[in-house]
Amino acid sequence: MSLYENNVFCLLDLPGDTNLKDIQIALKNLEHRAEFGRTLDYEHVPFFIKNSLSNALKLSNRPEIEGKGYPLRLYRQISEIIFKPVERLRERAFWFDSFQGRFLPDLKALALKDATVPLSNWQGLLPKESTQPFSSPAAVAAAHNLAVYLHAFCLLCDPKAKKEKEWQRALTLWKGCIENETFWERLYGIEAGCSGETAGAQDIINLRKNIAGILLQQNADLAKKALQEGDYYTAFRHYEIIEASGFPPGEIDQQSTQIIDFLIEKIALDCKVTREELEELSGETAAEEYRQPSLFELTKEELFDKKCQQIYHRFSLYAVSAVKFLEKCLPEDDDRTLSARQDLSLCLKEISIALNNRVNNYSKATEIITEAVELAQGTGVWHKLGNDFKIMLSNLCYNVAEELDEAVDDAENAVAARNACTTAFGRYLKEIFPAYDKFVKLWREDECIINDIKEALVECLRSIYWHYYNDTRDYGQAERVLLRAKEIAGNSPASLIIEEDGPVIIESANKTRQQQNLSFGESDGFKKYYKTGKVVSVAAVLIAVILVLIIFNSTSPDDSSSNLYQNKSYTSPGSPSELSKLRAEIEEDKKKITGLKIQIEEIEEQLQLLEMTVKRASSQFEYDRLYSDYENLYNEYTMLYDEYETLINNVNKKATLYNSKIKK
């Protein structure tokens, strides 16, 4: 039976200081009503407790629904407890005190949902300073009633509700009562005044010793229930309430340890269940067992992959939350925390191996092993998981390169080949580099593992930039990928892989830039300057100056071609109408170039900021979300830059044509 709503004095509708004779009368009344399937009216029970009694009590006075069964069981349960002195003493301690009938009106008011007056009356009897002891028996009884009221209110609220202040106030009042001798003397006096067998002094001593544990046990139970449901936030709030209760350290440690032990047992059980699910899934009949009507067209491998990822998502969310809870409660180097992290990381490793070996899902396998490595820091499996990470990330790198080779071979034209290269580079940015970057920041041991990983990344990037170079003739993008490979390689042995590639690709990229420079004739001597991958503002400025000089020079009075504007019947390619149209198109393209330049520069700034934000991501979920945003923005940047280059080429052609027509 719970602490308040099923307290026997509550169920008998009696104050906790009722003598044994009145208890027997009330019990006889309940027995009589139970014969007709009815319970009591509860005129002295606070409304929120009355509303929260068991389902059967909510159906009181409705025998046509409930029947006689529950009232009779209730009567027997009360009878078993109320005549046992030790249990009766405990029930008295956790119920309201009428103080010789003085507080009965207040209790009736609470039953009628009028809490303001009774709470104000009781509060008025307490010392103004909360640190002062209760000075009179009335004050002790009032404090006890407030403690019961607030504690019962907190227990009957939604456990997720933020009621820290109410909890703290209730436990502070309880602590004041427990430490007050008058409280225990009064409780002993109430029992001693009863006829028959009563609780003795030793029973009072035992209750006084255990009552703090009984109170804190309520929060421990709520915390464990929240942990069982996966609600770590609520569980930790109740853990903190226990820690801040002010009760003896021994009682606090006992309840806190109970919560932590429960979580560690749950971690072990969840790891065991997850491994069993993986074993079952790896069986020969796994695909058939997990086949669903909506997935009927999926292959055995696809079904395995889907189910395995379902296991991972459930387990990963739980594992991260469990570790964070333990790290808040225990020192970082506590053996219990390290043991739990090791178990969880090994379980994640098994999931990643299943995806890597069974269905070749290298992307997800790498993501999971990265999480396992992060979780295993400081444990005995840290170094072994680092080696596993190297293998899986290398698999992913080679997989990206192989799929790119196949896609380029199947490409019907340069556009399709470029799309394949863009997809591969996007996978590198989203899947490979984030895992590598996170690992490098964590790893402080064997440098050979880092060098092996760098070699895999460089090989992957090398495949990408050579496909850009050979199959799309996009030398600028090939150069950008090459520079990333050089940045990864640094001074490691991986730099030897790309040592001879740099001069070839960079030279081609420089030639391309020179060819793309705007030229308006050798006599003009003007050129467009821009940096591949990052447009500089001088480009648009020079274009504007060049166009203005050319146009105004061509229409000066001293120019022999000025007569063309006077002869409207002249219909040669260099006629005024066609030149004006060409000039207008150039002006319009110039405006578009300027607008695109501004957009590209803005997106470049956003990309830089987003890249820094991604590196500071606090969770895998946030990391994935931010990298998805980064990839989308990068694709937008690529499209705008392609459009920009197309416009530059068009302006080049139109300016050359305009020059040639004017000089005719």
What pLDDT was estimated at residue 112? 84
**Residue 621 in 3-state DSSP?**
helix
DSSP one-letter code for 386: H
**Residue 519 in 3-state DSSP?**
strand
| Measured distance between the N- and C-terminal CA atoms of the chain, rounded to whole angstroms | 106
Q: Looking up tokens 């509860």, which residue turns up?
A: 42
Q: Looking up tokens 């939350």, which residue turns up?
A: 321
In this prediction, what percent of the chain has a pLDDT beyond 90?
Answer: 45
Q: Which residue has the higher pLDDT, 43 or 305?
A: 305
Rounded CA-CA distance 132/388 in Å is: 62
Confidence category of residue 655, pLDDT binned at 50, 70, 90: confident
Rounded CA-CA distance 201/192 in Å is: 10
Confidence category of residue 196, pLDDT binned at 50, 70, 90: confident
Rounded CA-CA distance 348/342 in Å is: 10
Contact 431, 396 (CB under 8 A): yes
Collect all residues with Cβ–Cβ distance below 8 Å to 335 and sequence separation of at least 6.
none
Closest CA to 193 of 269, 74, 100: 100
Res 475 pLDDT > 70: yes
What pLDDT was estimated at residue 71? 65
Q: Looking up tokens 């080049």, which residue turns up?
A: 652
Contact 465, 485 (CB under 8 A): yes
| β-pair partners for 534 | 531
Q: Looking up tokens 């380029």, which residue turns up?
A: 408
Q: Which residue has the higher pLDDT, 594 or 52?
A: 594
Q: At what angle do helices 433-442 and 382-410 cross, to 10 degrees?
A: 160
Q: Which residue has the higher pLDDT, 489 or 516?
A: 489
> What is the mean pLDDT of the segment spanning 321-333?
88
3-state SS string for 459-474? HHHHHHHHHHHHHHCC
What pLDDT was estimated at residue 414? 87
**pLDDT, tens digit, for every residue of 209-267?**
999 999 999 999 999 999 998 899 999 999 999 999 999 999 999 999 999 999 999 99
Rounded CA-CA distance 462/485 in Å is: 7
Res 662 pLDDT > 70: no
**pLDDT, tens digit, for every residue of 435-451?**
999 898 888 767 899 99
Rounded CA-CA distance 177/68 in Å is: 40
Structure tokens at 648: 């530059």
Res 564 pLDDT > 80: no
Collect all residues with Cβ–Cβ distance below 8 Å to 95 and sequence separation of at least 6.
4, 7, 9, 10, 15, 16, 148
Looking at every residue in the chain, the average pLDDT score rounds to 81
Contact 160, 231 (CB under 8 A): yes
What pLDDT was estimated at residue 582? 80
Res 522 pLDDT > 70: no
How many CB atoms neighbour CB 299 within 10 A?
Answer: 10
**pLDDT, tens digit, for every residue of 103-160?**
999 999 988 888 889 999 999 999 887 667 787 899 999 999 999 999 999 998 888 8
What pLDDT was estimated at residue 124? 92
What pLDDT was estimated at residue 577? 65
| β-pair partners for 519 | 527
Closest CA to 122 of 96, 152, 151, 89: 96
Contact 331, 313 (CB under 8 A): no
Q: Which residue has the higher pLDDT, 295 or 114?
A: 114
Contact 311, 273 (CB under 8 A): no
What pLDDT was estimated at residue 663? 58
Res 407 pLDDT > 60: yes
Contact 628, 612 (CB under 8 A): no
